[in-house]
Amino acid sequence: MNKPLLSAFAAVLFAAQVQAGEITVSAAASLKDAFGQMIAQYQARFPQSRVKLNTAGSGALLQQVAQGAPVDVVAFADEETMNQAQKKGLIVPQSRKTFARNALVVAAPIGRSVPFHGLADLSGSRFQRIALSQPQSVPVGRYAKAALETAGVWQQLQPKIITTQNVRQSLDYIARGEVDAGFVYRTDALLMKNKIKVLQIVPTAQAVSYPLALTRHSGGNREAAQFAAYVLSPQGQQVLKRYGFGS
């Protein structure tokens, strides 16, 4: 093998070694299933890659990164959380991309036949327990609170609200019939369509959009950049579409 060809081969081998490795992706709870499948698909395509998935409410994920957790890629359920991460200098700004959209819904256990005409109905006696994630730290809770304020029923619903840590906890409460209704995303409702029913798609003042970014911790990690690009690729977008996310 001549020297130029040997050098070219070595360069390719080195690039592959740099790209291979383990990264940690922290994603909003509502992305758990879609990202789980996407990561399996990604690792099948890049066998030497290892992607560890960490899911929680977006606010909790932000705190983890702020406290120095070794996270390479973050994917939040709203732009506000990513804005906070950017202001704190936790992400690489130029890597920030919006990759998916969703919708807020109010849902109920499927076995209960309850007429529903709008959010004002939640103040009636048929709804005694309503699951809603913490508005201060969870995007779905912020969206829900804003919608209830617009409907003029936020304050009077306070005694009925069962606060949850993230959207998946709200989903579980509804599916088990432990609450009469709750706020989740359309994609979550699709996962449990045999146990819960959507009462209404709730209009939101801001689109429910999902941004991702590389963290400062990633330090230019090519594996992290490659995975982020995969989420935005046709293959990654197809997985998200399969789970009900909009592009």
Residue 141 and residue 183 share a domain: yes
Same domain? For 112 and 198 the reply is yes
For 20, the domain range is 3-101+208-242
pLDDT at 21: 74
Do both 216 and 186 map to the same domain? no
> Would you state the pLDDT for residue 229?
96
Are 109 and 194 contained in the same domain? yes
**In this predicted structure, what is the pLDDT of residue 20?**
54
Q: Is the dihedral of CA 70, 185, 161, 139 positive or negative?
A: positive
Q: Note whether 81 and 146 are same-domain residues.
A: no
Same domain, yes or no, for 133 and 155?
yes
Indicate the residue type of 139.
P
230 with 193, same domain: the answer is no
Judge whether 140 lies within some domain: yes
- Please report where in the chains the tokens 């209830």 appear, as a residue: 148
Q: Is residue 247 part of a domain?
A: no
Q: Are 33 and 54 in a shared domain?
A: yes
**pLDDT given for residue 115 in this prediction:** 83
Strands 21-28 and 73-75: parallel
- pLDDT, residue 186, reads 96
- How many structural domains are present in the chain? 2
> Do residues 58 and 145 share a domain?
no
Q: Is residue 225 helix, strand or coil?
A: helix
Whole-angstrom distance, CA of residue 196 vs CA of residue 99: 27
In a domain? residue 166: yes
97 and 9 in a single domain? The answer is yes
Residue 80 lies in a domain: yes
The whole-angstrom separation of Cα 215 and Cα 68 is 11
Residue 160: CATH number of its domain: 3.40.190.10
In angstroms, the Cα distances linking 127 to 109, 142, 148, 181, 196 are 12, 20, 15, 7, 15
Looking at residue 203, its pLDDT comes to 95
Q: Tell me: do 191 and 168 sit in the same domain.
A: yes
- The reply to whether 113 and 31 lie within a common domain is no
User: Whole-model pTM above 0.75?
Assistant: yes
Predicted local distance difference test score (pLDDT) of residue 17: 40
**How would you write the pLDDT of the chain (247 residues) with one tens digit per residue?**
444 433 433 333 334 444 457 999 999 999 999 999 999 999 999 999 999 999 999 999 999 999 999 999 999 999 999 999 999 999 999 999 999 999 999 999 998 777 899 999 999 999 999 999 999 999 999 999 999 999 999 999 999 999 999 999 999 999 999 999 999 999 999 999 999 999 999 999 989 999 999 999 887 789 999 999 999 999 999 999 999 999 8
